[in-house]
């Protein structure tokens, strides 16, 4: 029995709507990735990744996008710490004979605090954030 023409028209419209939804999903994912990763990734690669993510089940794509957001936050926090540490004058510029610069002392103190917190059972990213805050508080005094 032949398929009615109306059936083909409806099927074509559904496919057209699906394609529109899929392209909007790709654009949304692409914008999110661009926001999270910034200009560190070329546009063509972002488009390829966004297209690949849109083909995954929604839950898996959300997990991957969430992961990139967490990576962005961690890297952003590290950048803030480095900027804070570098913002203070270094002994090496004042005294070229100094063996350990102020930034090296801060980094060593930071690493030691992180090690003790991780040994106490605190998650590594949380330990790093807490250590960063403690050092900021000490340096603010």
**Angle 83-86-91 from CA coordinates, rounded to 5°:** 170
pLDDT of residue 94: 47
The reported pLDDT for the residue numbered 119 is: 87
Give exposure, 24-55, as e/b (b: 16+ Cβ within 10 Å).
ebbeebbebbeebbeeeeeeeebbebbeebbe
pLDDT in tens, 50-101: 777 777 776 777 777 777 767 666 666 655 555 554 554 444 444 544 556 6
- Angstrom distance (rounded) from CA 7 to CA 24: 26
- 9 band by pLDDT with thresholds 50, 70 and 90: confident
30, pLDDT greater than 60:
yes
126's tokens: 């949380």
How is residue 41 written in tokens? 């990734």
Q: Domain limits of the chain? A: 1-71, 88-141
- Say if residues 64 and 80 touch (Cβ distance below 8 Å): no
Q: What percent of the chain has pLDDT over 90?
A: 0
Q: Which residue has the higher pLDDT, 51 or 130?
A: 130
Q: How much is the pTM? A: 0.31
Q: In this model, does residue 47 exceed pLDDT 80?
A: no
* Distance from the Cα of residue 58 to its chain's centroid: 19
Q: Are 101 and 92 in contact (CB under 8 A)?
A: yes
Query: What mean pLDDT is predicted for residues 42-46?
Result: 72
pLDDT digit string (tens) for 109-124?
A: 888 888 888 888 888 8
Contact in structure between 102 and 88 (CB atoms under 8 Å): yes
Span 27-38, average pLDDT = 70
């Amino acid at each position: 029995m032949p398929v009615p023409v109306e059936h083909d028209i409806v099927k074509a419209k559904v496919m057209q709507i699906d394609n529109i939804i899929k392209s909007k999903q790709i654009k949304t994912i692409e914008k999110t990735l661009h926001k999270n990763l910034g200009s560190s990734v070329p546009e063509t690669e972002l488009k390829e990744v966004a297209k690949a993510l849109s083909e995954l089940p929604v839950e898996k794509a959300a997990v991957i996008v969430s992961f990139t957001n967490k990576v962005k936050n961690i890297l952003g926090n590290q950048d803030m710490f480095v900027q804070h540490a570098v913002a203070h004058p270094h002994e090496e510029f004042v005294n070229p004979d100094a063996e350990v610069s102020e930034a090296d002392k801060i980094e060593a103190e930071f690493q030691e605090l992180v090690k003790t917190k991780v040994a106490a059972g605190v998650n590594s990213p949380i330990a790093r954030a807490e250590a960063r805050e403690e050092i900021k508080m000490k340096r603010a005094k």
